[in-house]
């Protein structure tokens, strides 16, 4: 997994994207260590009088948003103006997400947003996507989906909890298969194949979804549109 970026780079990216938030917006709050910097920066702006509501994408982002004082709502009750979220790999407007096993809710929020800003450090950028694709599966479909992934040329690995005391269980009560396909020449086609497998809840290919990518570094931020 590409997680080698420095905290300073992640912070630069997160704080840059947080500046795009304006009064009155409904803001999608992504998941992960880079987005956490954006959420904290938005929280400081809320303290200073910014009037927004957030839509969290995970238990983790909900807890952080509450801690920093961002008022929250649900996607059922609002439409998202701007979403800010991290990525495990970025190639142009295409992403691989799900390193935090939150990609199902992230995709719902990010895809529904009028504008979606990705926050990343330079270790996440690539010419061609090749990071293993997280695939959230119903527990009962773990074996059948793994077999289908192998048939399409991928190598699935059931994601284990950090303490190795069992598999990762998503906020939705499902399991995650990290599926290594090597270089992904046609992300849209692979995404359609994965989405068509019975028992797949959501996969981590976010094809053509990014409107802007804020890439932070120790020296500043580059914004790619």
Numbered residues of the known binding site? 31-34, 85-88, 97-100, 124
Window of 43-51, 92-100, 141-149, 169-177 that interacts with ligand 5RP by CB under 6 A = 92-100
In this chain, which of 41, 50, 90, 102 binds ligand 5RP, going by CB under 6 A? 102
Selected catalytic residue, list 106, 127, 155, 218 = 106
- 56 counts as binding ligand 5RP under rule CB under 6 A: no
In this chain, which of 16, 34, 170, 174 binds ligand 5RP, going by CB under 6 A? 34
CA 113 to chain CA centroid, Å, is: 13
In this chain, which of 85, 94, 110, 178 binds ligand 5RP, going by CB under 6 A? 85
Could you write out the three-class secondary structure of the chain?
CCCCCCHHHHHHHHHHHHCCCCCCCEEEECCCHHHHHHHHHHHHHHHCCCCCEEEECCHHHHHHHHHCCCCECCHHHCCCCEEEECCCEEECCEEECCCCCCHHHHHHHHHHCCEEEEEECHHHECCCCCCCEEEEECHHHHHHHHHHHHHCCCEEEECECCCCCCECCCCCCCEEEEEECCCCCCHHHHHHHHHCCCCEEEECEECCCCCEEEEEECCEEEEEC
Number of residues that bind ligand 5RP (CB under 6 A): 19
Catalytic residue list contains 106: yes
- 98 counts as binding ligand 5RP under rule CB under 6 A: yes
- 178 counts as binding ligand 5RP under rule CB under 6 A: no
Q: Whole-number minimum distance, CB 23 to ligand 5RP, in Å?
A: 26
- Taking residues 153 to 172 in sequence order and writing x for each that binds ligand 5RP by CB under 6 A, - otherwise, the string is --------------------
Window of 24-32, 136-144, 153-161, 175-183 that interacts with ligand 5RP by CB under 6 A = 24-32
Site residues (vs ligand 5RP, CB under 6 A):
3, 30-35, 85-88, 97-103, 106
Instruction: List residues with catalytic annotation.
Output: 106
């Amino acid at each position: 997994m590409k997680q080698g970026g420095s905290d300073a780079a992640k912070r630069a990216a997160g704080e840059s994207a947080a500046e795009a938030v304006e009064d009155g917006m409904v803001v999608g709050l992504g998941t992960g260590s880079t987005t956490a910097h954006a959420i904290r920066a938005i929280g400081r702006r809320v303290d200073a009088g910014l009037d927004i509501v957030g839509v969290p994408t995970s238990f983790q982002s909900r807890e952080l948003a509450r801690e920093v004082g961002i008022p929250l709502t649900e996607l059922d009750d609002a439409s998202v103006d701007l979403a800010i979220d991290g990525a495990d790999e970025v190639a142009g407007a295409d992403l691989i997400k799900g390193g935090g096993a939150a990609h199902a809710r992230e995709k719902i929020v990010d895809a529904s947003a009028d504008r979606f800003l990705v926050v990343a450090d330079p270790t996440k950028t690539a010419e061609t996507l090749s990071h293993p694709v997280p695939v959230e599966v119903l527990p009962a479909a773990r074996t059948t989906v793994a077999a289908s992934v192998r048939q399409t040329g991928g190598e699935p690995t059931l994601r284990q909890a950090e303490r190795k005391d069992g598999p990762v269980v998503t906020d939705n009560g499902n399991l995650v298969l990290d599926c290594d396909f090597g270089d992904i020449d046609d992300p849209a086609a692979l995404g359609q194949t994965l989405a068509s497998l019975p028992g797949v809840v959501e996969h981590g290919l976010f094809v053509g979804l990014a409107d802007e990518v804020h890439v932070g570094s120790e020296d500043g931020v580059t914004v790619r549109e």
